Amino acid sequence: MAGQGRADPRPLSPHLQIWKWHWTMAGSIFHRVSGVGLYGGAFLIGAWLIALATSPEAYAFVEMIAFSLPGQILLFLWSMAVLYHLANGLRHLIWDGPMIGFNPGLASLWSMFNFAFAIIGAAVIWSLASFY
Amino acid sequence: MTTSAKSVRGLGAAGAGTQHHIRQRVTAVALLFLVPWFVYSIVHACKAGYEGALTWVAQPLNAILLILTLSAALYHMRLGMQVVIEDYIAKSGTRQALLILNTFAVIALGAATILSVLKIWFTAGA
């Protein structure tokens, strides 16, 4: 397991391919995937804020990208990632604090709920945002 | 037959895990309140155009909450990305380089965004 040039001789975490896909596993993987996505997203939100402080021209440039089709798709995915990471993060806190939700049936349902919350929540936010 | 257990036996724990875990949770609790506010606010700010967004950031309460959101999110991001790097990058040099890059990137983004908020706040109405 541990080879030459490793940071330390401990074995690595198991990679994706050794897991059987099921709701709780997908829930855990997507927590990490959405987290990494939000890491990138933070730099884009940061660009918006920096442009706002720079000049109207810089802001217009960022606005043009944000309101383009790829920009809108990216923002929709960002909002879904925020809602998923938020819901699943709350679940982590409930696991760690009151220690509720480890029963396999409930755990699977909870994972499904978090996915549904992210998708439906993002759709609701975007439709409200376009109406008001 | 040997198992991979032999490669970890005797190494002990790294010793920094509990602090990392607690900080990840404490920033998570803060973000649980700050992120819903942020999402609600940024939708309004974006729809208001350049002048509207400036007015929004220049409100003291918004500026303070924005700085708190940025700080908690960036700290939380750095901790999370650190674990991802440690989990998947085995090569010593690459791993160390990415861990340092993670810290630098987050601090640079924090400095640039927080200064942007302060600039907008302080120059509003000036």
Instruction: Domain count for chain B, please give it.
Output: 1
Question: Is B55 a domain residue?
Answer: yes
User: Is position A53 within any domain?
Assistant: yes
The answer to the question of residue A10 being in a domain is no
The residue segments making up the domain with residue A78 are 23-131
Name which residue leads in pLDDT, A1 or B13: B13
| B62 part of a folded domain | yes
Count CB pairs under 8 A between chains A and B: 105
Whether A2 is covered by a domain: the verdict is no
Give yes or no for a contact between A9 and B76, defined as CB atoms under 8 angstroms apart: no
B117 contacts B58 by C-beta, under 8 angstroms: no
Chain A residues within 8 A of B49 when measuring between CB atoms = 63
The answer as to whether B51 is a domain residue is: yes
Return the CATH number at B68: 1.20.1300.10
Q: Is the ipTM here above 0.90? A: no
CATH number for A102: 1.20.1300.10
State the smallest CA–CA distance between residue A114 and chain B in angstroms: 15
Question: A51 lies in a domain?
Answer: yes
pLDDT tens for B23-75 read: 999 999 999 999 999 999 998 888 888 999 999 999 999 999 999 999 999 99
Given a contact cutoff of 8 angstroms between Cβ atoms, the answer to whether A42 and B74 are in contact is yes
Taking CB atoms and an 8 Å cutoff, what residues of chain A touch B124?
A: none
pTM summary value: 0.86
| Least confident interval from A44-58, B7-21, B33-47 | B7-21
A68-122 pLDDT, tens per residue?
A: 999 999 999 999 999 999 999 999 999 988 988 888 889 999 999 999 999 999 9
Give the tokens for residue B86.
């440690």
Flag whether pLDDT at B122 surpasses 80: yes
* Total number of domains in chain A: 1
- Residue at A14 is within a domain: no
Which of B20, B77, B19, B98 has the alpha carbon at shortest distance from A7? B98
Name the closest residue on chain B to residue A2, using Cα atoms: B7
A105 CA: distance to closest CA in chain B (Å): 25
- Which residue of A lies nearest to B43 if distances are taken between CA atoms? A129
Position B4 in a domain: no
From the CA of B91, how many Å to the nearest CA of chain A? 5
Contact of B60 with chain A, judged by CB distance below 8 Å, is answered with: no
Asked if B9 is an interface residue toward chain A (Cβ–Cβ < 8 A), one would say no
